[in-house]
Amino acid sequence: MKKIDTRSMAKRLFSTLLLWGIVAAVLLSGQVSLVVGTVIVLTVLGSVEYVMITRSTPGHKRRLGSFAIAVIYLLWLAYELVSTNNNNEIIHKQNDFSPEMICLLLTLFVAFLMTLWKEIRGMDSINAVATNVLGFIYIPILFGGFMMRLAFLPPVTTVSSPEISGVWLLLFVAIVTKFTDMGAYLTGTLFGSTKMIKHISPGKTWEGTIGSFAVAQGGAFGVCFLAGDRLDWMGEWWNILILGVLISIAAIIGDLAESILKRSVETKDSGGMLPGIGGVLDLIDSICFAAPVAYFYLYFTAIH
């Protein structure tokens, strides 16, 4: 058994408890607008970190245009969802991805338009456009957009209460995702010896990955137990099991995706706001992939 770095663990534990305290306060507030606002704040902070860690790559200044479009997209989608007041309207909004498509096209157009006034130097121009578009898809859509959509995914009659607006679903996705991360860290630290993908994330092991699935399932069924009948619409126990596995797989890929990004720009953390964790992007990287997986799985299995 390996020896655990207690100082690093203490910092991570402090940040984790602080963050979960904030999450609990938001959920217990009973205000859907506060939940949506929290998602927007995390998305904006994560997007700022993305702009900062990619500042050495081509098109850094042009990335501010993509950031502005991302803010417009978040406010547009938030207004569309929060302003709904009946079941039919909510279902219509869930079927309408116009905000994503229009703002994505606008991001692409603006990125190419701003490139017209720059000298072409090999692949730099294309890389600049691609990095701008990636920044918009990666955080604003995958995290911000899908987390907001998850909040309004269940079939409801009103959105005035978090108990029936999907806040328990957000808690489900967040806990399964974070338990996947935590399970991988703990079991990998204690028992890990077989490197998973050492050229991308040297600390990840297959033992930690296996352990993460078990811990994540505990989190999934734990939330369902605490939620009572509020999550019954998600289906039978085996549906929860499958969704938990899918979220764990997506969370692991999301964590590795950010590792690729950080290694590409040669940085250890996306920021320093959270001791023991890093930046906001380090916090939400797994959810960026888990949220859309959870959304589409439930949309096609539990809603339709």
pTM: 0.86
Per-residue pLDDT reduced to its tens digit, 205-258: 888 888 888 999 999 999 998 888 888 888 888 999 999 999 999 999 999 998
Domain of residue 62: give its range.
6-303
Q: Is residue 70 in a domain?
A: yes
DSSP letter, residue 205: E
Q: Is residue 93 in a domain?
A: yes
User: For residues 111 and 124, is the Cβ–Cβ distance under 8 A?
Assistant: no
Q: Is residue 202 in a domain?
A: yes
pLDDT (0 to 100) of residue 283: 84
Domains in the chain, number: 1
Distances (CA, A) of 83 to 19, 40, 48, 127, 282: 28, 16, 27, 38, 31
Local confidence pLDDT in tens for the 304 residues of the chain: 445 555 655 666 666 667 767 777 776 676 778 888 989 999 999 999 998 888 888 777 777 888 999 999 999 999 988 887 666 677 777 888 999 999 999 999 988 888 877 777 778 888 888 899 999 999 999 999 999 999 888 755 444 454 555 788 888 998 999 889 888 878 877 776 788 777 787 777 888 888 888 999 999 999 998 888 888 888 888 999 999 999 999 999 999 998 888 888 888 766 666 666 677 888 888 999 999 999 999 988 877 6
Q: Is residue 1 in a domain?
A: no
Q: Is residue 167 in a domain?
A: yes
Shortest CA distance to 132 belongs to which of 117, 110, 99?
Answer: 110
Sequence-ordered list of residues with C-beta below 8 angstroms from that of 236, at least 6 positions apart, any chain: none
pLDDT (0 to 100) of residue 277: 65
Q: How many whole angstroms separate alpha carbon 172 and alpha carbon 67? A: 29
Q: How many whole angstroms separate alpha carbon 290 and alpha carbon 197? A: 20
Q: Is residue 164 in a domain?
A: yes
Shortest CA distance to 243 belongs to which of 185, 292, 200, 191?
Answer: 292
